[in-house]
Chains A and B, each alone.
Chain A
């Protein structure tokens, strides 16, 4: 690997492995008084945290690099893995750098985890971010505006200074740049996936959980420049697939690499979807809370935890397949993930109506055996290449 790219990948990998939030501690130590706020998947308005001068820190469990010692004692066997590793991280003091935690409404597990957090860490700020499921401006919009106004008041109190409209507009602009960089990356990757291996690209995304947003945007831009220059990255006879179901508990890196090694180019996915939740720019002029509200109502991504008043649950997936010229869909959901697994039959029905190939398997963030997945993904890829209509 060329040194420029290696430098970017190594930096992102270091952050990926930073379960103890050393990078966050360093950021806080650089300027006394700085604070960091953790958030879980999927969407929180990170602009508010940024505008308060704090560092938003994405928390997505411990993956396959954390031994669960205490976390299992808090959850029954039939509950997904991300809450137990997140509790483990907290009880082992790996999250001590966080001055607060936000738990967005995504499912009953993350929702109840917010209450557990409040009981386990009564001295820390905990907030449940209950996003509206009504997308009418005069109904869900009014409610959401007030919800984020409360969050702004809370963060102002916690930070010891008011968050001005100018602060917030500035943060919106900074995040618009980040969203644009992510959109560019996804767009180019869709056209030329061989330049951006999924396991590598994932590290670049994941770095955004810990890096200040400005640095993350710079990293993404640098990666966009460097990845296509790497030797040996050229078009091959692989199948183009969309990965679905990974918006919350994250798959181990090895699983993503396995899918790719099995002959699948990933051309779209819902990994770390919260970073790309708003699918366009947020207005950086006028009332910033209103801008964030309008963006939420009109530009939110579609996923299992979002209600669609008009129905047609699978339309977005079919659209993604068409837009990205994908040849198939791999449903790759965490075990016991209610939103993803309850959604799946509706998505499959939509794909089958359009004769789009699909396969499915489940994982846990600490899955360590990939042989079966490799075989299944490989067979799926072969079946697309050998049997699909040209």
Chain B
């Protein structure tokens, strides 16, 4: 349940499969299979969002999560999103608004067929984790009109100054105790079991340690991973249905071993066309990727020897690399802190500080912003972030525009042109320094 496409198509066929990739594909396939038969087997289904997701709590109630953003990006990768968006617009949704929402609504109108070709189950509960994105609220209000099921709202205060305040945490805790948990109990008929939650959080923390090791491996030269295009695969289990599960732990152990091996052998990242031979540019990336032309987009970078060593997109589901871990000794408090700390829930000054640290800590030659039309949460302020980062680090930034899943907003020639020009500029600056 991540960027890894369940049914392989030529457009997204990764050339070289390692054990972690195979594992992830199996995990996702089995999850979707479980979803397809959920209601027949008496399981309950909760729809929720990636940022601020309460996977451990969900799993402690034996609920199965469905993440509509993931369905949308999967539809984008499988070239179905254009049709779904058109369907939603036909039903009166504005061309101006988030294409994840429209893709999801369009998919629903066309039968809600998931990535495995099987119908996704209707939700028994909509868990509206309102974290870092205003649109989430409207999205689930729209879904609520479609499904006759309860909604649990979890409003997560914005961290405008980058700090967690006590009353913010208390507010979330109160909502968990009076809104979310009672609705989980009501839907499942099970009682809240804190010991069970703690067990899952122990597994989460274990996987999180390995995940952070993987992300930080990009500090090596050459970087053994691409922390953006490759990163979207690495975040899959962590950000979706597999935190707090033995499979999640196993996946990140396997991934770490593979990357350790690459570090030892001084190898670069694996790309869809095989291992990257020579690392020429180290970049930090801000903003989500485009999904409709994901492979083409990635190719524009790896063909030029550009590797992304750190990215903000891989922090939308939590800033583990800044020290956060799910803590079994204070489970609900820890969930509250997790929700507040997701990247898009942080004020712009904090986001700039984070990217500045990445540029320095990962020895980046440059940074690039992929500004997506659909996501104001990410995009508003990025042009100022660009200036601020250039001023603070002296490292030049690049700016490209696309969209998440609307194919009409991916202009390949334009984007390629910009990337090439930007990398040439980096090259010239490098040459000037040597001279």
Which residues of A pack against B, CB within 8 Å? 73-76, 78-79, 83, 105-109, 111-116, 118-120, 128, 130, 132-134, 136, 138-140, 142-143, 146-147, 304-305, 307-309, 311, 313, 335-339, 341-346, 348-349, 362
Contact = CB atoms under 8 A, between A and B. Distances in A.
B388 interface: yes
Given A76-B379, A105-B158, A345-B91, A140 B171 contact: yes
A223 B401 CA distance: 49
Given A342-B142, A345-B92, A116 B171 contact: no
A85 B80 CA distance: 37
B376 A112 contact: yes
A185 to B, nearest CB: 31
B348 A115 contact: yes
The 7 closest A-B pairs by CB, nearest first: A115-B348, A342-B138, A128-B160, A112-B380, A143-B171, A133-B155, A108-B376
Contact of B376 (A79, A138, A311): A79
Contact of A76 (B155, B168, B383): B383
Interface in B43-62: none
Contacts of A120: 384
Interface of B: 91-94, 96-98, 101, 128, 130, 133-135, 137-139, 141-142, 144-145, 151, 153, 155, 157-158, 160, 167-168, 170-171, 174-175, 178-179, 347-349, 351-352, 371, 373, 376-377, 379-384, 388, 401
Contacts of A362: 94, 96
A115 B349 CA distance: 6
Contacts of B383: 73-76
A128 B158 contact: yes
A327 to B, nearest CB: 21
A114 B171 contact: no
Nearest to B177: A139
Contacts of A304: 138
Contact of B349 (A119, A308, A349): A119
B65 to A, nearest CB: 21
Contacts of B134: 105-108, 111, 305, 338-339
Contacts of B347: 114-115, 118, 128
Q: Chain A interface mostly helix, strand, loop or mixed?
A: helix
B314 to A, nearest CB: 20
A263 B14 CA distance: 62
B401 A76 contact: yes
A78 B144 CA distance: 28
Nearest to A335: B96
A92 B228 CA distance: 38
Nearest to A333: B94
Contact of B371 (A76, A109, A115): A76
B130 A133 contact: yes
Given A76-B371, A139-B179, A311-B141, A115 B381 contact: yes
B239 to A, nearest CB: 20
A53 B381 CA distance: 33
B167 to A, nearest CB: 4
A346 B167 CA distance: 34
Given A108-B134, A114-B347, A132-B155, A138 B174 contact: yes
The winner among A106, A132, A138, A341 for most chain B CB atoms within 10 A is: A341
Contacts of A337: 96
B101 A118 contact: no
A134 B97 contact: no
Contacts of B379: 76, 78-79
Given A78-B96, A139-B178, 20 more contacts: A76-B382, A76-B401, A83-B380, A105-B158, A107-B376, A112-B380, A115-B347, A115-B381, A120-B384, A130-B158, A134-B179, A139-B171, A139-B174, A140-B171, A143-B168, A147-B167, A311-B144, A338-B138, A341-B94, A345-B91
B115 to A, nearest CB: 25
Contacts of B179: 134, 139
The winner among B133, B158, B168 for most chain A CB atoms within 10 A is: B158
A300 to B, nearest CB: 14
A307 B144 contact: no
Nearest to A83: B380
The winner among B101, B142, B352, B388 for most chain A CB atoms within 10 A is: B142
Contact of B384 (A116, A146, A308, A344): A116
A133 B144 CA distance: 17
Contacts of A133: 130, 137, 153, 155
Contact of B348 (A107, A119, A342): A119
B369 to A, nearest CB: 10
Contacts of A105: 134, 158
Nearest to A341: B94
Contact of A336 (B96, B151, B384): B96
Contacts of B142: 342, 345-346
Contact of A132 (B98, B144, B171, B377): B171
A118 B138 CA distance: 27
A108 B133 contact: yes
6 contacts: A76-B373, A107-B376, A108-B133, A108-B377, A115-B347, A133-B153
Nearest to A122: B349
Contacts of A115: 160, 347-349, 351, 381
A281 B371 CA distance: 44
Nearest to B178: A139
A275 to B, nearest CB: 22
A85 B357 CA distance: 32
